[in-house]
A and B are shown apart, each in its own frame.
Chain A
């Protein structure tokens, strides 16, 4: 399947056929309901004549053939007699469909397609994504991807592009599989590797890297909305980071995707539930919660249910379920009952509906669990000893209180000659005030104050027992506090009652009570003699009969490697989504994924070793015109790397990157006051120091309401909602971040220090060395001509104004090397900065 590079050289000029078939020529085929007609009907008609009964007009359904026929809308073979045709062509505004007030309008081509479809018999098809995928035949020995891409290209008269050069290939692979640029040595070795399977060896090396899991995790963490904070209102922290590490580990260990799914939805219910599977089940706790005073439990119970249904819809089913919160879906057969019945699967999860979540399960090593158990036992023992004496202690306290009151004793701290601190004097004043109250009038604060004071200051009774308890308590706490903890799913035997909420209104309790059930329009599993539970749902999501999950996951995976899904609407494979540009290919991928036992590394390897993946991304003009958005895959696409990897690339080439995998989220530099609009409590942002300052972007503290501004600028989602597809924007804030964010300035000066220390040569040689570090190529003549004068003027400037150079070099926490000229270093910082800001630097080629 893998060809040698030498045999694949092909002159660029021959790569394109002169004649490119136009789109209309493609449509000369018989009309296909799924490809041509459903999108028209769904977008223009189903809103009033579709599955949603409550909004249906004129009692007409166009989504069902029999209904449409009996209403006379469609007379197969006879467009002239079909009211559908006459109404869409009507000139009278009262007759015209869609009605003018809908602001929908069919164009001439759409009208003609409808008429032709009726003429050809008005055949309906089940919506493509609800049919089980069928694996296309692929000639033995050839790549399914390449075969199906070429088949499609042949049909529309396009040809594949030549293979990209080796530097481009390794840069592309490194960004796609690791999220990091390759080193110059890695590039040189690959370029020089003459083995026929050099490419595959490279792919396998990258797949085995622990950074592979980090890169793969980014997209999944978006899809499940992983974040460090609760989301609503005060947006306070909660413990979930072990889940992020679990995701990374799962990809690195190549955990089969079906198991990966089951552990997330029901890792607490699987027969062999362990700490590891329970951490996976943190998925169910990633939703938005609130601690706002005045929040109503019923309100948030409804929000949480809908949040979870949307998450299952987005991450696995590729269905936009949100509409069914209020009414039956208008375009897809997803009903309000389906919505709430799906939500009912999660009604067993123990959690506070309002208020601060628990610390979560301790995620520790066996030794840690053992040590904690010992400390728990020691604490219990100390508590027992203390309990044995506490009544005597309390009696002594009562006596002490009574004596003070009876004899009018002044607290020692308040004596005229007291040398007590102001704080102690204050405490004593409060104690005196509490003592002055009638014992029956003392509130909880008074009682606590008196008890604490008595025990700390006024008595030595039972010191051993008291010290023993305090010590055991402190030892346990000191050990417990830093342990990793994670919110996980815990099953409650009596689940919350779930009702269909009419129009989504949580105040309305008239709706029918529903039990967990699978969406009625999808294949049903056989479960006998009991109610289905979360584990059944988890297994159903990845059952061979489920037509959606494998397609959804493969479509998202495709975007990672080509910049766009095969169906470009990643979160909606329903009627309002887009039928895939190459449906056979998506189905082949889905089947191959399931056939391989949901083997993710196998699928990644299959994709990146395809010739389709290895094509050059520069489009010849004819191809750019024929297929501007590269839907047909006659080339690769270049695109800007994800926010996290923009950071990773800068830290990596500057030598600052700390490559530790996993751990609590970290706080890179952030502008002061950025969290000023957070409250309850007021928040400060102490940025991390040492190694934690230089971690990869995906470990950045994910504050939902105020995500780190550098991440936000490059389109990292806030993860308040599931995000199947990030924006890929190009905005001025990105320039400001790369130019001025201290993280990037520090990266530039660190790269400059590397240039001066690691390359002993002329300035031109040093520029070339820097280019190789960042772009893994030599600078072009023009680049050299642009940079050299820049370097010279900066050197002159900083020689004349050394204070400016020193100020620049103070940016960031790393030390400035003592053995280099400061003016030179400052000037080279500018060269490094130019490099780190280049479009090419942050682009996966």
Chain B
């Protein structure tokens, strides 16, 4: 072949060798070269964020977000409405509902539908919550229950987007991406933002798009990585059939060595990044299976969560969330589906309670026992609430009132904040928005929400939107 840049092959090689050796003495090549002989010594580094140091005092270091997908009924979970029981079967007062946005009930006769399960007093302050959730009730002392949350959207997909990104337009970063972008991660060999999903027994498993954990206009390395309970836990994590870890390590070492040689010739900074990503990928191939393997958890812990290793349940995912938190992952989001009870809310909620009640308690208890609850915000929230009006024997989507709760991370436990009206139709006291929730969580993470922005399409785009948001100071410990 003819020469390159007019050099002979020999000259070219000589320059390459000299440049390579010169660089590898101090640079990335050294790692790659060393590992040629001993695969497996590659070392990955944690993802860095753009904020050198959180601008505000940091009360919480990480988030575990329990997304109850489908829209849980606040009226069968955490918002006690005896008046609605009294009006069961009677028309909804028109003054409340006139001209309002409804989903499937739009234009239909609106009839009150009483709570389908009794409520009882639980926790240190005798808070009334649905009797199906005794385990959550037992840790109410650690929980701040917000009964006055509202949202802008009323269909699942836009409502999830709004809850995750503060916008109903696709293409915005999810909160997990924002937080990881700001603070980076402490996990050297795991992604900074991890997502797990689980299905419910009832079958109303609403679809969840991958955009819910997208990094939007932020760099892709901050996107959520889904951990799956079946197949490879991370897509393409497993080696091809027949390739052992040492074989894989040898190939990666060779790839990185050659890339380092190329770097010495071209000085392209992307190459050093590429080498680091191969190191990270190789590290993840070991760390993720280790993470997912819960067999070594004590029987006491497995009993606490009530799960079997690898069963893919919400409880299993809660246990994995704790393991991820321990390993320094910044933002962990669990989707549990099947909360969309247009019909059969009575039985539907029972299924959900069986699936989540113990697991939520276990997660809070486990984090607390390990001294991690103080530095972890646990959030429980759906994408919207449900109507006090009936839709057959279920409830329609509803955005004017919903209940969410938070625990840990410097949030006041044993508190009930805000209230909806006597029928649970609209939030009336200390009304909160999704932007407020985001602002408050960012605040606990040490980030000032209105100063945390990225230029996008000409705007200083923020998680908390353009309309402004309030940190809910009253719920901070």
Contacts and interface: CB of A to CB of B under 8 A. Distances in A.
A787 B458 contact: no
Interface stretch (A79-87, A345-353, A601-609, A837-845): A837-845
Interface in A779-794: 780-783, 786-787, 790, 793-794
Given A167-B4, A672-B231, 18 more contacts: A9-B6, A101-B450, A191-B2, A233-B207, A290-B157, A296-B101, A296-B106, A618-B266, A671-B235, A718-B170, A721-B170, A723-B171, A782-B258, A803-B242, A804-B243, A808-B242, A811-B241, A838-B258
Interface string B233-272: 0111111111110011011101101110110011110110
Contacts of A781: 13, 16-17
A536 interface: no
A296 B260 CA distance: 56
Contacts of B430: none
Interface in B173-207: 191, 197, 205-207
B268 A638 contact: yes
A721 B161 CA distance: 14
Contact of A323 (B20, B277, B396, B459): B459
A123 to B, nearest CB: 24
Contacts of B300: none
A231 interface: yes
8 contacts: A575-B458, A671-B235, A710-B236, A720-B211, A732-B277, A733-B235, A782-B17, A808-B242
Contact of A782 (B20, B236, B247): B20
Interface string A156-172: 00000000011110000
Contacts of B25: none
Given A679-B207, A706-B209, A729-B220, A735 B235 contact: no
B351 interface: no
Interface in B9-24: 9, 12-13, 16-17, 20
A837 B170 contact: no
A381 interface: no
A38 to B, nearest CB: 12
Those 3 A-B pairs whose CB atoms lie nearest each other, nearest first:
A576-B458, A705-B209, A808-B242
Contact of B171 (A721, A734, A804, A840): A721
Contacts of B400: none
Contacts of A834: 251, 254-255, 258
A322 B258 contact: no
A80 B288 CA distance: 64
Interface in A406-429: none
A629 B155 CA distance: 43
Contact of B262 (A288, A292, A639, A839): A839
Interface string B214-238: 1000011100010010111011111
Contacts of B100: 507
Interface in A795-809: 797, 803-809
Contacts of B171: 720-721, 723
A705 B235 contact: no
Best-surrounded residue of B13, B209, B284 (most CB of chain A within 10 A) = B209
Interface string A84-104: 000000000000000001010
Interface stretch (A196-204, A443-451, A737-745): A737-745
B273 A730 contact: yes
B236 A292 contact: no
Contacts of B208: 677
A232 B169 CA distance: 11
B258 A720 contact: no
A806 B103 CA distance: 56
Given A103-B450, A678-B207, A705-B209, A739 B248 contact: yes
B103 A735 contact: no
Contacts of B285: 736
B170 A741 contact: no
Contacts of B170: 231, 288, 718, 720-721
Given A293-B104, A671-B232, A739 B157 contact: no
A574 B459 CA distance: 11
B207 A778 contact: no
Contacts of A824: none
A727 B219 contact: yes
A295 B206 CA distance: 14
Interface of B: 1-6, 9, 12-13, 16-17, 20, 36, 99-101, 103-104, 106, 154-158, 169-171, 191, 197, 205-211, 214, 219-221, 225, 228, 230-232, 234-244, 247-248, 250-252, 254-255, 257-259, 261-262, 265-268, 270-271, 273-274, 277-278, 280-282, 284-285, 335, 342, 396-397, 448, 450-451, 453, 455, 457-459
A778 B104 contact: no
B383 to A, nearest CB: 12
Given A721-B169, A736-B237, A838-B259, A673 B270 contact: no
A232 B157 contact: yes
Nearest to B36: A786
A778 B252 contact: no
Given A296-B106, A671-B235, A734 B1 contact: no
Interface in A587-627: 616-619, 621, 624
Contacts of A168: 4
Nearest to B210: A706
Interface in A685-713: 704-707, 709-710, 712
Contacts of A166: 2
Contact of A679 (B206, B243, B342): B206
A12 B4 CA distance: 13
Interface string A375-418: 00000000000000000000000000000000000000000000
A715 interface: yes
Given A507-B101, A735-B278, A737-B236, A680 B207 contact: yes
B457 A709 contact: no
Best-surrounded residue of B6, B20, B211 (most CB of chain A within 10 A) = B211
B240 A745 contact: yes
Contact of A740 (B239, B342, B453): B239
B251 A192 contact: no
Contact of A618 (B237, B238, B267): B267
Interface string A122-155: 0000000000000000000000000000000000
A238 interface: no
A642 interface: no
A352 to B, nearest CB: 16
A619 B267 contact: yes
A732 B281 contact: yes
Nearest to A103: B451
A793 B243 CA distance: 13
B466 to A, nearest CB: 8
Interface in A736-778: 736-737, 739-742, 745, 772, 777-778
B457 A718 contact: no
B259 A839 contact: yes
Contact of A786 (B103, B242, B252, B254): B254
Given A292-B156, A294-B104, A834-B251, A192 B236 contact: no
A739 B258 contact: no
Interface in A506-539: 507
A322 B169 CA distance: 10
Contact of B99 (A165, A507, A734): A507
A232 B157 CA distance: 6
A191 B248 CA distance: 37
Contacts of B101: 296, 299, 507
A192 B254 contact: no
B353 to A, nearest CB: 22
B19 to A, nearest CB: 10
Contacts of B99: 507
B209 A673 contact: no
Given A721-B169, A790-B254, A233 B5 contact: no
A786 B251 CA distance: 10
A370 B414 CA distance: 75
B243 A808 contact: yes
Contacts of B197: 676-677
